[in-house]
Amino acid sequence: SSNKLQGYAPICLGLEDFYTRRLYLRIQDCFGRPIASAPDAWIDVVERYSNDYNKTLKRTTNTTRCLNLGSYNYLGFAAADEYCTPRVIESLNKFSPSTCSARVDGGTTVLHEELEDLVARFVGKPAAVVFGMGYVTNSAILPALIGKGALIVSDSLNHNSIVNGARGSGATVRVFQHNTPSHLEEVLREQIATGQPRTRRPWKKIIVVVEGIYSMEGELCKLPEIIAVCKKYKAYTYLDEAHSIGAVGKTGRGVCELLGVDPADVDIMMGTFTKSFGSCGGYIAGSKELVKYLKYACPAHLYATSMSPPAVQQVISAIKVILGEDGSNRGAQKLARIRENSNFFRSELQKMGFEVLGDNDSPVMPIMLYNPAKIPAFSRECLNQKVAVVTVAFPATPLLLARARICISASHTKEDLIKGLEVISKVGELVGIKYFPVEPEKQ
Ligand code: PMP
């Protein structure tokens, strides 16, 4: 209805075409915008725009400096850091960007072993093994752990890497309602009663897979309740901490620390280095026997080139800062900052009348747009006002549950957050996504 929104009308009319290339071509500039800087609090976004009826994206070499509300750089380690960066440069000079070998060949450097010991100590498990990519950690580990005759019970909103790992394992896969321990119990009870579909024998193994913070929901796992159900039905727990390790908990040790869970109660701990640690790669932490087994049974360990040494060094340095082993209290400050920033931003968005998903302390806060036709309006208008946001749509979310996913970082200043809130408020008004209008006297 607003004049300013008229330019977006053809997109709204094209809603029924969402599955087709036509709408995607019209909004493709909202996804995968090239960035010409580190993913810090402010980024240089390459100007790239689509002419709605033209099939090609126009790209210029011009960049716009924008407030970044979309990267997983939770603790701010993805930018130059006084402790991490000089050590990463030194490791680059000493080891080169690649080991050019798998771990069992020449791909295990002293840095890889140091990182595995450090990760195990950090997450509170006896041992850990690292992989070159977080996605591969899930998709290759699940098939190495479990196979035919076994059962995987997976949260309905688990990440695609878990879904692919579960499917590829050959195990029977059942899904329980997102973050609902009572439904997990129902599924386990039913599956244990019926056994394997063909033989009606008990399952060889049962693994329940959950995430610490759900990346599309910003929601914390109901871990204590889920562990209680797993213990009752003798199922193993597999916890993906991609978005929670380093980001939550008093000393950054993830949801176990935040929710008061003993790490010994989680059988397999998985995480990635791509968020809080500003690097690449993933890990599995667990018992010594589990890690030893995985090192000899997992093809991604045996046949894939190992994690890049400078990326390994970045994680070692970041964990040392978090633990205060760099001799400063910057780690503690970063952790306090991300919690403060996240809780401030979330409560301000709610006060403005937005529907924001997720829990307090979570740095991920999706703002609901619902109608995917609102994606280009929201994304482009924010960018016009120098705020870069990430929008998510089908197939990452159900078709009519499109959202803008805000990620808060410890490197955002209070002024950054206030600017972000002002822009989101204005654009939210324009796009019509303030679903809970605040009465004037309460403002
Ligand atoms: N698990 C979860 C829950 C994720 O959100 C992601 C990616 N964001 C991954 C695994 C894959 O990790 P990576 O991006 O480090 O490959």
- DSSP letters spanning 393-412: -TTTS-TT-EEEEEE--TT-
With a cut of 60, say whether residue 443 has pLDDT above it. no
Residue minimizing CA distance to atom 1 of ligand 1: 242
Nearest atom in ligand 1 to the alpha carbon of residue 161 is 10
Q: How many whole angstroms from 166 Cα to the centroid of ligand 1?
A: 15
Nearest atom in ligand 1 to the alpha carbon of residue 273 is 15
Q: How many whole angstroms from 170 Cα to the centroid of ligand 1?
A: 22
Nearest atom in ligand 1 to the alpha carbon of residue 72 is 8
Confidence (pLDDT) at 194: 79
Which of 133, 135, 164, when mutated, tests ligand 1's pocket best, judged by the most ligand atoms within 8 Å of its CB?
A: 135
Residue minimizing CA distance to atom 9 of ligand 1: 135
Which of 131, 141, 215, when mutated, tests ligand 1's pocket best, judged by the most ligand atoms within 8 Å of its CB?
A: 215
Which of 71, 131, 274, 362, when mutated, tests ligand 1's pocket best, judged by the most ligand atoms within 8 Å of its CB?
A: 274
For residues 124-146, give the mean pLDDT: 97
Q: How many whole angstroms from 360 Cα to the centroid of ligand 1?
A: 21
Q: How many whole angstroms from 64 Cα to the centroid of ligand 1?
A: 28
With a cut of 60, say whether residue 10 has pLDDT above it. no
Confidence (pLDDT) at 54: 54
For residue 367, the SS3 value is strand
Sequence-separated (6 or more) residues with CB below 8 Å from residue 391 = 30, 31, 369, 375, 378, 379, 402, 403, 404, 405
Q: How many whole angstroms from 244 Cα to the centroid of ligand 1?
A: 11
Cβ proximity of 388 and 379 under 8 Å = no
With a cut of 90, say whether residue 347 has pLDDT above it. yes
With a cut of 70, say whether residue 20 has pLDDT above it. no
- C-alpha–C-alpha distance, residues 97 and 5, integer Å: 47
Q: Quote ipTM for the complex.
A: 0.99
With a cut of 50, say whether residue 201 has pLDDT above it. yes
Pocket of ligand 1 (CB under 6 A): 133-135, 138, 159, 161, 211, 215, 240, 242-243, 272, 274, 282
**pTM to 2 decimal places:** 0.92
Q: How many whole angstroms from 233 Cα to the centroid of ligand 1?
A: 28
Residue 351's DSSP bridge partners are: none
129 φ, ψ to 5°? -135, 140
Q: How many whole angstroms from 243 Cα to the centroid of ligand 1?
A: 8
Q: Which of 222-236, 305-319, 424-438 has the lowest mean pLDDT?
A: 424-438
Confidence (pLDDT) at 48: 73
Residue minimizing CA distance to atom 15 of ligand 1: 134
Q: How many whole angstroms from 215 Cα to the centroid of ligand 1?
A: 9
Q: Which two tokens stand for residue 367?
A: 């703002």
Confidence (pLDDT) at 24: 66
- C-alpha–C-alpha distance, residues 268 and 120, integer Å: 12
Confidence (pLDDT) at 318: 98
Q: How far apart are the first and last CA of the chain?
A: 25
- C-alpha–C-alpha distance, residues 148 and 201, integer Å: 13
Confidence (pLDDT) at 50: 56
Mean pLDDT of the chain: 91
- C-alpha–C-alpha distance, residues 68 and 84, integer Å: 22
Q: Which of 239, 224, 38 has its CA nearest to residue 138?
A: 239
Q: How many whole angstroms from 242 Cα to the centroid of ligand 1?
A: 6
With a cut of 50, say whether residue 5 has pLDDT above it. no
For residues 89-115, give the mean pLDDT: 97
Cβ proximity of 335 and 323 under 8 Å = no
Which is more confident, 329 or 34? 329
Q: How many whole angstroms from 82 Cα to the centroid of ligand 1?
A: 27
Q: How many whole angstroms from 339 Cα to the centroid of ligand 1?
A: 21
Which of 72, 154, 161, when mutated, tests ligand 1's pocket best, judged by the most ligand atoms within 8 Å of its CB?
A: 161
Q: How many whole angstroms from 217 Cα to the centroid of ligand 1?
A: 14
Q: Count CB neighbours of 360 within 10 A.
A: 10
- C-alpha–C-alpha distance, residues 202 and 151, integer Å: 10
- C-alpha–C-alpha distance, residues 403 and 63, integer Å: 25
Which of 159, 216, 307, when mutated, tests ligand 1's pocket best, judged by the most ligand atoms within 8 Å of its CB?
A: 159
Q: Which of 380, 350, 387, 401 has its CA nearest to residue 157?
A: 401
